[in-house]
Structure 1
Amino acid sequence: MSEEYGIGATAVGIKAKDGVVLAAEKRITYGFYSLSSSGKKVYVVNDRMALASAGVIADMQTIAKILRVNAKMYELESRRKPSIAAMAKLLSVIMFNRRIMPFIAEVLVGGYDEEGPHIFVLDPVGSLIEDDYAALGTGAKMAISILDANYSKDVDVSGARKLAINAIRAALERDPVSGGGIDLVTVTADGVSEEEIKVSAVVG
């Protein structure tokens, strides 16, 4: 979808045995025109959930706000946090209902709940797949090759973090419209941790 609209992006999600890692590069582009190198494509939803996305930045921001609001409403009404699967399915329905004029965004929803870590992949019309790892955007072909070659179900969040960085780095080296550094979120039973890896530390 991102390639069809000429929107550069690379985002990856990895499920580890003790949590999940979501990461994305920071460059905002349309075609080969770079608008910014400080865009945010990884969003914290609550202290157990986050999402990463590739697509139009306004649509990514809107999707993140929708998920945050619905997660908070659920928590206030039920007095417990929603499961990752429930929030991913809700977002799937919302995106499907917009299929005539869809959000121009591919989304990874990841988090840790009572059932453990989860990664869900959604396309712009709401197709929903749970997987161990995934890559989205124009740099996905490069990133997924790194994930395919190095992923193990026994990986911990520390190893998944390194793998996510290497996957994004592969895209930065080869995809001309990905770059600007990396935003990364780790979600475990202890909560959410955000970090930004500066452009000087990676290619692009």
Structure 2
Amino acid sequence: MQLLFVHGLGSTRFDFLLNARRLRRHGHHCSAFAYWAAFESLASIRQRLIARLTAMAQQGDYAVIGHSLGGVLLRDALLQLPAGVRPPCHLFLLGSPMLATQANQFLNRSRIYRYLAGPCGQLVVSASAMAAIGLPALPTTCIAGTRGLTGRYSPFGTQANDSIVRTAELSLERFEDVVTLPLRHPMLPASAAVGAAIASRLRQ
């Protein structure tokens, strides 16, 4: 099976390297899609991602994996695939929000964040922009981390989170297949437990 990983905001394609090695042992061919948040427009990223997905579809069955913002970009591109292009057999969303994120809205107060995050950063702080990106009609697994700090000293208060994204922002109720793991947001792409969850669903 062809697998394509799309990284999150402020991270890189190499975040998935360990799981790519694990999944290759199961016979899967892993690749990654990279983008430059500070310098690329959302339209440019979407166009390149659609072209990549189209090329994969021409080569046979494939599945896609998006971490955080990467999952948002994948949902956006998948909903705009040209007619006749085969969709992936499975979409995996790792800590990928369906709603505008509180953490990014806070960071957006900083001029440095706005510069480094570029248009991608503005996407995840906009409630209307995030609401406009739907969920493709294909088998989807939402993997949520739950190891974020809660309580008196947490910026999230009593709300469950993975240290960056609140669980409520994942909209778990929209998914038939949800996996919760005691992991923090940055660790999701490299986690062996995440790799195992992906491999088990691809076997099905």
TM over 0.5: no
User: What interval of TM-score do these two structures reach, taking the shorter chain for normalisation?
Assistant: 0.3 to 0.5
Which protein, 1 or 2, shows the higher relative CO under an 8 Å CA cutoff with sep ≥ 6?
Answer: 1
Larger helix share, 1 or 2: 2
Tell me the TM-score normalised to structure 2 length. 0.32
Tell me the TM-score normalised to structure 1 length. 0.32
